[in-house]
Amino acid sequence: MAGTMTVKLETRNQHRCFDGVQSYYQHHSEIIGLPMRFSVYEPPQVQEAGGQRLPVLFFLAGLTCTEETFMIKAGAQRYAAELGLILVSMDTSPRNTGIPGEADDWEFGTGAGFYLDATESPWSRYFHMESYVTRELYDIILDRFPVDPERVGIFGHSMGGHGALTLALRHPGHYRSVSAFAPIAAPTQCLWGQKAFSRYLGESPANWRKHDATALIESGCRLPIPLIDQGLNDPFLKDQLHPGYFEAACQQAGQSVILRRHAGYDHSYFFISTFIEDHLRHHYTWLTSNGQ
């Protein structure tokens, strides 16, 4: 996207963290048409690197979350500081759009943008989260922070796990490493996905399948081997998440996937914080090897 060097970033907060800096920003989004907020953790290597560009990971959070949730609750900065990874997270939808009922339902609308570009009125006016994450915010981060454009990874949780998988599948070459915590892995086959997709995308099953990780694998799309962690005490596992559907589609298609099932863990950030180190090391390995 042209012109991101001139985008005005308002710094809302900055905090020292593991010898790096945790920052929160707001800007006017051209793609959304409204203010958007995002967060960046810059590890100490940013100061020490002497112009060297570092790998970056985009984290997509789940329903009801904001740009703050992952940075506050996941405990990722300790490992990002060790490995020299820049972390980025963003709000989960446009807010204060004026669309009637936008915040009435925690599973849809505000806090529930599903990382896709809505095609159906009234949501299509503002709800362009796929373009925001893959184009506008992507370009801002690559232009304004000391990021290596060849070393970009994506991960997320639940709705954001769906986002990480589908954006990696839909934008081949954009992301060199992928992982997810408890993703909504087959959204066309669960109520969360059906509710969101029918309102954002209309009633055509063909359009829904373009944003369903399992269906995208069935359609021939491929992605870097994803690491997926799933708690077996997750209250949403049985009815909403369906990681087994994604695993089966991958097996059928010859797509490698690492799906780990963990007894006793639920859907919360206590689960995420337990396995966050493994995810950052997974990304680090992919972003610092494979010939780059």
**Which residues of this protein are in contact with ligand LAXINWYW, per CB under 6 A?**
62-65, 69, 73, 106, 157-159, 267-269
Active site residue 234: yes
Round to whole Å and give the CA distance between 264 and 261. Answer: 10
Cα–Cα dist 38/27, whole Å: 9
Q: Is 15 a catalytic residue?
A: no
- Cα–Cα distance for residue pair 120/200, rounded to 1 Å: 5
Q: CB count, 10 Å around CB of 203?
A: 9
Nearest to 184 by CA among 88, 116, 280: 116
Query: Toward ligand LAXINWYW, which CB reaches closer, 43 or 62?
Result: 62
Q: Active-site residue among 91, 117, 212, 234?
A: 234
Q: Please, what is the minimum distance in Å from the beta carbon of residue 157 to ligand LAXINWYW?
A: 6
Min separation Cβ 110 and ligand LAXINWYW, Å: 11
Query: What is the C-alpha separation between 159 and 14, in angstroms, rounded?
Result: 27
Q: Minimum distance between the CB of residue 290 and ligand LAXINWYW, rounded to whole angstroms?
A: 30
Whichever of 24 and 286 has its CB closer to ligand LAXINWYW, that residue is 24
Cβ 184 to ligand LAXINWYW shortest distance, Å: 7
Instruction: For residue 251, give the 3-state DSSP assignment.
Output: helix
Q: How far is the CB of 183 from ligand LAXINWYW (least distance, A)?
A: 9
- Taking the least distance from each CB to ligand LAXINWYW, the nearer of 4 and 22 is 22
Please state the closest distance from residue 69 (CB atom) to ligand LAXINWYW, in A.
5
Question: What CA–CA distance (Å, rounded) separates 137 from 151?
Answer: 16
Residue of 29, 39, 158, 179 marked active site = 158
Q: Provide the 3-class DSSP secondary structure of residue 223.
A: coil
Nearer to ligand LAXINWYW, 63 or 76 (CB): 63
Nearer to ligand LAXINWYW, 45 or 179 (CB): 179
Neighbouring-strand partners of residue 25: 11, 38
Q: Which of 157, 267, 279, 283 is catalytic?
A: 267
Q: Given phi > 0 = left and psi -120 to 50 = alpha, else beta, which region is 46?
A: alpha
Whether 158 is a known active-site residue: answer yes
- In order of 29, 31, 58, 67, 219, the CA distances from 34 in angstroms are 6, 8, 21, 15, 34
d(C-alpha 13, C-alpha 273), whole Å: 23
Using the minimum distance from each CB to ligand LAXINWYW, give the nearer residue, 69 or 89.
69
Element (H, E) at 27: strand 20-28
Indicate the helix (H) or strand (E) that contains 88. Answer: strand 86-90
Residue with tokens 């829904």: 208
What are the catalytic residues?
Answer: 158, 234, 267
